[in-house]
Structure 1
Amino acid sequence: MLKPDPARSQELIERIRGLDGNKRQQLYRKLHQAGVNVARLPIVPARESGLLPLSYAQQRQWFLWLLEPQSAAYNICTALRLKGEFEAGALEQALQGLIARQASLRTRFVEEDGQAWQRILTPQELGFAVQHRNAGEANPTQAIEACVAEQAKRPFELTAQPLIRACLLQLASDDHVLVLTLHHIITDGWSMGVLVEELLALYQAACLGTVAQLPELSIQYADYGMWQRQWLEAGERERQLAYWQAQLGREQTVLPLPLDRPRPAVQSLRGASLGVHLPAALRDSLRQLARQQDVSLFTVLLASFQVLLHRYSGQADIRVGVPNANRNRAEAERLIGLFVNTQVFKGLLDGPLPFDAFLHAVHLTGQDAQAHQDLPFEQLVEALQPERNLSHNPLFQVMFNHQDSRRLGQVGNGLAVEALQWDNHTAQLDLTLDTVESAEGLSANLTYATDLFDRATIERLAEHWQNLLQAIVANPRQPVGELPMLGTAEQERIVVQWNATATDAYPLDACVHTLIEAQAQRTPDAVALVFGERQLSYRELDQQANQLAHQLIEQGVGPDVLVGIAVERSLEMVLGLVAVLKAGGAYVPLDPEYPRDRLAYMFEDSGIELLLTQSHLRAQLPVPDAVRVLNLDGQGHLAYPTQATGVQPGPENLAYVIYTSGSTGKPKGAGNRHKALTNRLCWMQQAYGLEASDTVLQKTPFSFDVSVWEFFWPLMVGARLVV
């Protein structure tokens, strides 16, 4: 390993400075192969003239800009309320000083021979100026919102203009708002904090006529970008990529959150945000839990968010994007530039897993991610090669970002500075949870794609997250699948109010066949049943079903006696079903097209002793010797009385037994009571209002439960049934 010998370090710096890019790359590779940690070597400053390569993160921003050059989705805004004695000239002097100090703020981008480059301009070449506006008599809040919105939505031309804008809005002589807007290709969240701190320091110095005491910058962002490329390409890229490939695997699925609308083919990036209030008591409990579990508050919040996504999606593999400041070099801490890197945190959950066990798994994932934080997200995407789709972000669709807030307070000359918050109208992802920890407390904000979600959905999601947090601090050992998400009011609404469907309006003591009989008395001559060229009126249907029912009673059919029926689609099929009910029995449909072994199992399992069928089907059915067979295409039932049988099964007696598909093993018979059948059909009539002039096509095989309402509902209300 390289020893921290200052003399040798300086000697190595001079040696590296004298090498061109290719030779410097070769040296880094040799040092890496010799076991030297290249990341510990000083970053050698590059020249500021000529064309310089883009960093990996800048390359991705350049690509996104080429796709949508008129988009403002990657604008980053900050707004400062300045109250007190204010000197506009000192502000302009401070901005010019900041631009001179931070080379990224005077960077333009060009394309030559199909490759993008960055060019660092002198402050004089930049041509930067502050816009001045006066709010006049306008409402201050509305004036601020309008100014911020106008600045935020104006796109940048990366090749032809400054990538920083400053707009000063005067509300009163002692009340101003400064809106700073930068393109993401030259800044990130950390950088915006540095920008504000240094701008205020330079402003204060300008007001006092002194020189701001800012730490010297040994390098600029472009130097870091070149060093990052050379370091990663010397061998570090392969090491870190191997970890992420093993961690994330080959399959990259889209998180199936319940959406309010279908996902559009191309993201519009339109968004909105929702502030989430976290009570002080909950914040304190979360901090205490983090201390007890020896993890950070970040880890607790991330784990809770992944549990929420697991419960919402039903997916076990939850992947969340987490931005990393990527400032692990001392030289980079005070630089403005696009350092932030995005990592994918993978969490594996199932219902029985205790939350505290999952919490420690998230902690370990975070430690491993920290040790492999330098691989640019763009290179990870390129290596994993997820299916490219403009409708969603690759590798993850949800992000979590936790940060500490920076206090601004008073500037030395008596100017009070306050950072303003406003609704974000862009969303690069489906959903982002931002949490901010400060001395005052813990705040949260949800940014969501309005193409996908309604505000009410996000409000409900935010409430569920807070309920999960309360449950977690109350019992961190509780399984993640049992952590309560519903509040008291919502649980009451879902469990009690939505299930308060009892009604006295339905004749639940009446069986369906008696309701059909009543309809036959009301409209005896109306057409009830149609099959091809044949049809039966309600009177004919009722009388012939009565005749067959008498014959069935003679065969021993009565309440809860199962009668098999294996027929093809025909008038006889419906007559047989109604007749079994009139005889007091329960029918068991046996589809003649089923395989013989399935039919044989159903004969045996059901225990039927009587089968209704058609003579031409008899030979293909595996009918046990003990089962009696009655052919419905015979005319024997016509000798029986046309009057009702007088048999009246009770509401709790069986009406039918239908066998399941058997997808989980052998098929199972599922029975239903007369009372339940009447309840279902009366509800359908109340909900959909079938009329006598309507015609219903009986389309479902009678061995499926949907066929039940298709058969009996139209006959119960006087409509026409076509089979």
Structure 2
Amino acid sequence: MKQMQMIEEFLFELRNQDIQLWLEGEQLHYSAPEGKLTPTLLAQLRERKEEVISFLHTAKQSVSQIKPIERNNSLPLSFAQQMMWFWHQLLPDNPLYNLLVSLQIEGLLNVTVLEQSLNEIIRRHENLRTCFPSVDGKPMQVISTVANINLSTVELPSSPEQTTQLKQLASTEAEKPFDLGQGPPLRVTLVRLSRETHILMLTMHHIIYDAWSIGILARELCTLYEAYSQGNPSPLSELPIQYADYAHWQRQKLTTEVLEKHLSYWRQKLAGASPISPLPTDRPRPQVQSFHGGLEKFQINQNLTQKLTQLSQESGATLFMTMLSAFFVLLYRYSGESDLIVGSGVANRNRVEIEPLIGMFTNVLALRSQCSDDSSFTEFLSQVKQTTQEAYKHQDLPFEKLVEELSPERNLS
């Protein structure tokens, strides 16, 4: 029997895949990374369109708004930013949290208009012109009033080595460290491959962006470039708040009472967990972490995807919950350990005001499961579903605060 997901669960699934929904009047709009909004999800979104619009209207009216704060006071970092800043102090020359985004631009390019568009985005989003100096041993946000990007241009003429040269340039850009205390952690390079082919490279430190932010930046850049190319003003509405307002609100909201409510759940959920991964490895761990990890990508064929989607719907679960359950089972088979914890990133954009902001909002949830040979997969999926739903209710607790509270055994490897 097919079970209908609660609207909150459905929206959580979309958010956690960086699929953005927003209202303009009564019109529902969406933006999604390539391949994320599957035909099945799109069909569900269309089917539940009125329900989604109603939910977003209600959320906007019922939730207390984040208010802008004065800029003449000290501006604290958010909890996520503070952890990024801490790691930067430990490893100042390590590009661990650098990200390079490459946008390919086809057709005749007006560089002046491109630069104008980038500068408008930087003006709109204070976070892109913020540095993070230490004041009396504590990091603070310092926002520059200057919104001009230094757009450097590189010519890579057509040649057999062009692709190799482009990869080398991208690698050099990505590995160049930022000084968080001196200037905004953002660099922009325009690479000209031919008269009608350019690559726009944006290098940012994770302290000012998350995956959701990339979609916002790309969308605003396209909108602004099109408008300015036609001699029109920016069609984008001014942002009601900025990231610094959110950071202040987050620290005010997470009072001792609220923190304790969330911590109580996570203490109980993670009690007795082993701090060391039980997975067998094909080589010994290094004494000190090298950060030279790997990334494995693969595609699931359409037939299997449809079956997984059907199983999810029949179980009243999201596709994420089903895939997470399968991953837990895989880890169980490899390790022989029944008690497992998987860290899962969530967009954490659960407020209307912060959806259009470029900034670091992502949080990590520690999802724990107990596998058993006596359970069927559907029974195990039910357990994972419950665990995930509970975790979503307590996602406001920054992972950094959880680590600070639990003080797990540290290992440099």
Equivalence for 1:353:
375
Partner of 1:56: 79
Q: Equivalent residue for 1:47?
A: 70
Q: How many residues align?
A: 351
Question: Please, which of 243, 261, 270 is the counterpart of residue 283 of structure 2?
Answer: 261
- Pairing partner for 1:82 from 94, 105, 128: 105
Match of 2:92 among 49, 69, 73: 69
Are residues 1:225 and 2:247 paired?
Answer: yes
Deviation track 1:173-230 (CA, whole Å, cap 9, x = no partner) reads 1111111111001111111111111122111112111123224311100100110111
Match of 1:678 in 2: none
- Structure 1-normalised TM-score? 0.47
2:361 alignment partner in structure 1? 339
SS in 2 for 1:374: coil
**Deviations 1:279-329, CA, capped at 9 Å, x for gaps:** 222222222221222211111111111111111111111111111111111
Matched residue, 1:388: 410
3-state secondary structure, aligned to 1:266 = coil
Contact 1:49/1:119 (CA < 8 Å) preserved in 2? no
TM-score normalised to structure 2 length: 0.82
Q: List gaps (5 residues or longer) in structure 2.
A: 1-61
Q: Which one-letter code corresponds to 1:70 in the other structure?
A: D
Superposed CA offset, 1:440-493 (max 9, x none)? xxxxxxxxxxxxxxxxxxxxxxxxxxxxxxxxxxxxxxxxxxxxxxxxxxxxxx
The whole-number CA distance in structure 2 between the counterparts of 1:206 and 1:272 is: 41
Query: For 1:97, what is the secondary structure of its paired residue?
Result: helix
Q: Tell me what 2:305 maps to.
A: 283
- Counterpart of 1:367? 389
1:645-672, CA deviations, whole angstroms, 9 ceiling, x for partnerless residues? xxxxxxxxxxxxxxxxxxxxxxxxxxxx
Within 5 Å, give how 1:68-467 maps onto structure 2.
Answer: 68-124=91-147, 128-138=149-159, 139-233=161-255, 235-391=257-413
| Equivalent in the alignment of 1:599 | none
The structure having more radius of gyration, on CA atoms, is 1
Task: Name the CA distance, whole Å, in 2 between partners of 1:376 and 1:63.
Answer: 15
* Aligned-pair CA distance for 1:266: 1.6
Equivalence for 1:24: none
Q: How does 1:440-589 map to 2 (within 5 A)?
A: none
Q: Distance in 2 between matches of 1:64 and 1:313?
A: 30
Residue deviations 1:318-363 (CA, integer Å, cap 9, x gap): 1111111111111100001111111101011022221111111111
Residue 275 of structure 2 contacts residue 409 of structure 2 at CA under 8 Å; is this kept in 1? no
Task: Determine helix, strand or coil for the equivalent of 1:52.
Answer: coil
Give 4+ residue runs of structure 1 displaced > 4 Å after superposition: none
Contact 1:163 1:182 (C-alpha < 8 Å) held by counterparts: yes
Query: CA separation in 2, counterparts of 1:59 and 1:356?
Result: 40
Query: For residue 200 of structure 1, what is the amino acid of its counterpart?
Result: C
**CA drift at 1:50:** 4.9
**Cα distance in 1 between the residues matched to 2:196 and 2:175:** 28
Whole-Å separation in 2 of the counterparts to 1:123 and 1:87: 23
CA distance in 1 between partners of 2:381 and 2:89 (Å): 41
Partner amino acid for 2:158?
A: E
Amino acid in structure 2 at the alignment position of 1:246: Q
Greater length-normalized contact order (CA 8 Å, ≥ 6 residues apart): 2
The DSSP-based 3-state class of the residue aligned with 1:179 is strand
The one-character-per-residue Cα deviations of 1:573-606 (angstroms, maximum 9, x if unpaired) are xxxxxxxxxxxxxxxxxxxxxxxxxxxxxxxxxx
Q: How far off its partner does 1:234 sit?
A: 5.4
Cα deviation, residue 140, structure 1: 4.2
Instruction: Check conservation: 1:78, 1:179, Cα contact below 8 A.
Output: yes
Which amino acid in the other structure matches residue 308 of structure 2? Answer: L
Specify the alignment match of 1:640 in structure 2: none
SS of 2:132's equivalent? Answer: strand
Q: Find the aligned partners of 2:327 and 2:286 in 1 and give their Cα distance.
A: 25
Q: Cα deviation per residue 1:616-646 (whole Å; 9 max; x = unaligned)?
A: xxxxxxxxxxxxxxxxxxxxxxxxxxxxxxx
Change (3 A) 1:144 1:281: farther
What SS does the corresponding residue of 1:347 show, helix, strand or coil?
strand
Deviations 1:11-50 (A, max 9, x none): xxxxxxxxxxxxxxxxxxxxxxxxxxxx932111012345
Letter in 2 for 1:240: H
**Distance (whole Å) between structure 2 residues aligned to residue 211 and residue 343 of structure 1:** 42
CA distance in 2, matches of 1:102, 1:96: 10
CA–CA separation in structure 2 for the residues paired with 1:381 and 1:95: 37
In the aligned structure 2, how far is the partner of 1:104 from the partner of 1:222?
Answer: 8
Q: Distance in 1 between matches of 2:237 and 2:344?
A: 29
Task: Compute the displacement of 1:51 (Å).
Answer: 3.0
- CA distance in 1 between partners of 2:351 and 2:377 (Å): 35
Structure 1, unaligned runs of 5 or more: 1-38, 392-723
Task: State the distance in 2 between where 1:289 and 1:148 align.
Answer: 42
CA distance in 2, matches of 1:148, 1:48: 36
Write out per-residue CA displacement over residues 108-137 of structure 1, whole angstroms, 9 at most, x where no aligned residue. 01112111111011125xx63111111113
Contact map agreement 2:78 2:247 (CA 8 A) in 1: yes
Tell me the distance in 1 between the aligned counterparts of 2:249 and 2:126. 16
Partner of 2:17: none
CA–CA distance in structure 2, aligned partners of residues 92 and 50 of structure 1: 31
- Counterpart code for 2:84: Q
Q: CA deviation at 1:85?
A: 2.2
* Residue aligned with 1:343, SS: strand
Determine if contact 1:250/1:384 at 8 Å carries over to the other structure: no
**Identity between Structure 1 and Structure 2 (%):** 41
Letter aligned with residue 364 of structure 2: T
1:99 partner letter:
I
Query: What value does the CA root-mean-square deviation take over the aligned residues?
Result: 1.5
Match for 1:180: what amino acid?
L
Q: CA deviation at 1:153?
A: 1.1
Separation in 2, partners of 1:354, 1:269: 37
CA contact under 8 A between 2:227 and 2:234: conserved in structure 1?
Answer: yes
Match of 2:199, SS? strand
Instruction: Name the CA distance, whole Å, in 2 between partners of 1:234 and 1:386.
Output: 21
What amino acid sits opposite 1:320 in the alignment?
V
Question: Structure 1 residues 286 and 212 mapped into 2: Cα distance closer, same or farther (>3 Å)?
Answer: farther
Distance 1:83 1:76 in 2: 23
d(CA) in 2 for partners of 1:338, 1:55: 8
- Counterpart in 1 of 2:21? none
Paired with 1:208 and 1:365, the residues of 2 have a C-alpha distance of 52
Task: Give the match's secondary structure for 2:298.
Answer: strand
**Counterpart amino acid of residue 310 in structure 2:** Q
Deviation at 1:144, TM superposition (A): 3.1
CA distance in 2, matches of 1:378, 1:48: 26
SS in structure 2 at match of 1:273? coil
Q: Please give the alpha-carbon distance, in whole angstroms, between the structure 1 residues aligned to 2:243 and 2:293.
A: 30
| 3-state SS of paired residue (1:272) | coil
